[in-house]
């Protein structure tokens, strides 16, 4: 028996909708922020243990890899914040028109970039 039926569409050939991409990244940043919060708690606990642990953490914090992770975590914080505010407005029934959805998507990206730059310039 031969199957000459067409294959069903797969994610790789379908057009990616902006709202779907933002939703996926919102979930990813939420998971990343959870892990980052655990690491921040461990960091604070080690600092509270004494000067030796503080000096050890100071050496670790000076690494480029950790600074990159902190930079990405900062991006995740602001993206999750601004995109979450957009979802809250949608829950209240505001901004559901397609043009507004796209405009607020670009606004989320711009606010995330500006906030991250401001935080890292001031630090």
How far CA 63 is from CA of 22, 67, 87, 111, in Å, comes to 31, 6, 36, 28
Query: How many domains does the structure of the chain reveal?
Result: 1
Tell me: the pLDDT tens digits for 65-109? 888 988 999 999 999 999 999 999 999 999 999 999 999 999 999
Q: Is residue 6 part of a domain?
A: no
Write out the residue range of the structural domain in which residue 58 sits: 19-122
Tell me: the pLDDT tens digits for 14-67? 566 888 899 999 999 999 999 989 988 888 888 888 888 878 877 877 888 888
For residues 101 and 95, give the distance between their C-alpha atoms in angstroms, rounded to a whole number: 6
Q: Is residue 74 part of a domain?
A: yes
Task: Report H helices in 50-97.
Answer: 51-61, 64-91
Q: Is residue 65 part of a domain?
A: yes
CATH of residue 84's domain is 1.20.1300.10
Find the radius of gyration of the CA atoms of the chain: 21
Single out the residue of 92, 93, 109 nearest to residue 22, CA to CA: 109
User: Model-level pTM?
Assistant: 0.80
Do residues 107 and 113 lie in contact, with contact meaning Cβ atoms separated by under 8 Å? no
Q: Locate 100 and state its tokens.
A: 């507004």
Q: Is residue 9 part of a domain?
A: no
How far CA 35 is from CA of 7, 31, 76, 118, in Å, comes to 39, 7, 12, 24
Phi-psi category of 95—alpha, beta or left, where left has phi over 0 and alpha has psi -120 to 50?
left
Q: Is residue 13 part of a domain?
A: no
Q: Is residue 48 part of a domain?
A: yes
Q: Is residue 5 part of a domain?
A: no
Q: Is residue 62 part of a domain?
A: yes
């Amino acid at each position: 028996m031969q199957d000459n039926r067409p294959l069903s569409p797969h994610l790789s050939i379908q057009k990616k909708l902006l709202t779907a991409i933002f939703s996926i990244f919102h979930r990813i940043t939420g998971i990343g922020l959870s892990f980052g919060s655990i690491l921040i708690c461990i960091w604070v606990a080690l600092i509270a243990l004494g000067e030796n642990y503080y000096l050890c953490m100071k050496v670790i914090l000076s690494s480029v890899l950790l600074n990159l992770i902190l930079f990405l975590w900062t991006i995740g914080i602001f993206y999750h914040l601004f995109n979450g505010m957009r979802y809250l407005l949608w829950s209240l029934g505001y901004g559901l028109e397609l043009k507004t959805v796209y405009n607020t998507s670009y606004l989320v990206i711009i606010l995330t970039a500006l906030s991250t730059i401001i935080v890292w310039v001031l630090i």
